[in-house]
Amino acid sequence: MKAQKSYLIILFLSLVFTISKAFRLPNDFAEAHWLIGYQFGFIKRALPGAFLNVLFPSGENMESKIIFISIILFLIFCAALFFLAYKIIKLSDFYFDDYVILLSFFSSSYIVFSAHFMGYYDNILILIVILSFLLISRNYLIFASMVLALGILTHESSLIMCLPLATFYVMIKFRDDDIKKKIQSFFELLIIPIVVFLLIYISNKNSSISMEVLQNHLQKFDFIKENRDFIVADGFTHSFLDYINEQRIYFWARIFEPTLIFKVGLPLFVIIWLSWEKIEKNKTNIILYSIYVLICILPLGLHAIAWDTGRIWGYTQIIAFLGYFLMRSQNLLKLQYQKAEIIIILLLIGIENLIMYTPLMDNLTEKFDMETRIIFFITVIAFVIINRFNITQKEEVCN
């Protein structure tokens, strides 16, 4: 119990420190998205804006209201991630390798990006998929399907970020059922979000709404500056095929971006690799693990349609973490990685965070000078190594 509390404290401090590296209030680009709802028709990404219009129909002081809602959602998002970590640490067979995975994620670029992209819809999508996990765990597949449909209405990237994870959970949860029951479960889960996605695609393809109409609407708000009215309006009216035609030529350059391969790739590799070391190697588990790896790298396909390279790379880390949580909570990851190299892995993650900065947008850089980073790094590593003895004792009891 004492060891659990100690590790939760250091995990919380790591989360706060990582958030503090790039925390900022919503920029014009994020705020502009919240100002477009279904008053312009059944268009993509309009659900949050429609929600805001219902709450504040007067349209006054919208910037402060968007900032307030964004902060609340971000705090709920952080609390949800920390709760998942708490659930893992509370497992009776919690091992030190689990903690290395948790610390790798909570100090990762994804957390930095989440704080940097305050007001974007990414946090909402993660909360939606976590809520779908809760509903699936209680066998409310139709309700989970409805929740996932809300993700599609929030942002079409939910098709790659949320649906595969929820489907993966169903695969794990019902892995021992007969094929008929599995097909029925998949149908119940996926039918509503897929239909909603197709309706949005058809509606946007045939929509008569012009970019100029949305741009004129955004220009009514003084806090939307720096040509964001044009960029956001263009994003709402651009078709999926247009994005692919414009962005696909940059795909391989974004995939092989050296800084992100190391900055994002190392923690991602640690989570995926340690998950492999912890899984029992039978046919069913190997198939499920292979699907897990595929789901982790699937977001990289977004490089063919979008230009925010670092943000897309970060998606792989959150999906790897959530997939690990699902496998761990469903008792797929029973084994323990006991080799001494686990401390070296932790040191490598710490050193990487120490010397490599996450590439941010708007010409911004991570906060904290090198001296502050070194002090925090030494403190965390010393604390973890000292408390390693407590986890070792627990592992010996479990074994």
pLDDT on residue 154? 97
Angle at 73 between CA 67 and CA 76, to 5 degrees: 145
Q: Is residue 345 in some structural domain?
A: yes
Output the pLDDT for position 318.
98
Q: In this predicted structure, what is the pLDDT of residue 313?
A: 95
Distances (CA, A) of 232 to 34, 45, 217, 281: 10, 11, 11, 48
> Each residue's pLDDT tens digit in the chain (399 positions)?
666 788 899 999 999 999 999 999 999 999 999 999 999 989 999 999 999 999 998 878 999 999 999 999 999 999 999 999 999 999 878 888 999 999 999 999 999 999 999 999 999 999 999 999 999 999 999 999 999 999 999 999 999 999 999 999 999 999 988 889 999 999 999 999 999 999 998 988 887 788 888 988 998 888 888 677 788 888 888 877 888 888 899 999 999 999 899 999 999 999 999 999 999 999 999 999 999 999 999 999 999 988 888 999 999 999 999 999 999 999 999 888 877 788 888 888 888 888 888 888 878 888 888 888 889 888 888 888 777 765 555 555 455
In a domain, 162, yes or no: no
Please give the Cα distance from 125 to 48 (Å, whole number).
11
Rg (CA), the chain: 22
CA-closest candidate to residue 326, choices 88, 102, 4: 88
Closest CA to 275 of 329, 348, 343: 329
φ and ψ at residue 318, rounded to 5 degrees: -70, -35
Give the chain's domain count.
1
* Three-state DSSP string of 138-179: CCCHHHHHHHHHHHHHHCCCHHHHCHHHHHHHHHHHCCCCCH
CB within 8 Å of 374: residues ≥ 6 apart: 354
- Torsion 245-299-42-39 (CA) sign: negative
**Residue 398 to residues 85, 92, 365, 391, Cα–Cα distance (Å):** 20, 8, 44, 10
Vertex 19: Cα angle to 17 and 24 (nearest 5):
130
C-alpha–C-alpha distance, residues 358 and 260, integer Å: 8
Q: What is the pLDDT of residue 2?
A: 65
Cross-strand bridge partners of residue 333: 279
Give, as one character, the DSSP assignment of residue 302: G
In whole angstroms, what is the distance from residue 135 CA to residue 78 CA? 20
pLDDT for the residue 389 = 62
Query: Do 238 and 291 form a contact (C-beta atoms < 8 A)?
Result: no
Q: Does a structural domain hold residue 161? A: no
CB 347 within 8 A of CB 381: yes
The answer to the question of residue 150 being in a domain is: no
Is 147 contained in some domain? no
Q: Is residue 157 part of a domain?
A: no
Write out the residue range of the structural domain in which residue 342 sits: 2-120+208-398
Contacts of residue 172, Cβ cutoff 8 Å, sequence gap at least 6: 288, 326, 327, 330, 332
pTM listed for this prediction: 0.93
Residues in the chain: 399
What's the confidence (pLDDT) of residue 381?
82
| Structural contact between residues 19 and 108, judged by C-beta atoms closer than 8 angstroms | no
* Domain-embedded: residue 129: no
Angstrom distances, CA of residue 157 to CA of 225, 298, 305: 26, 11, 10
pLDDT on residue 169: 98
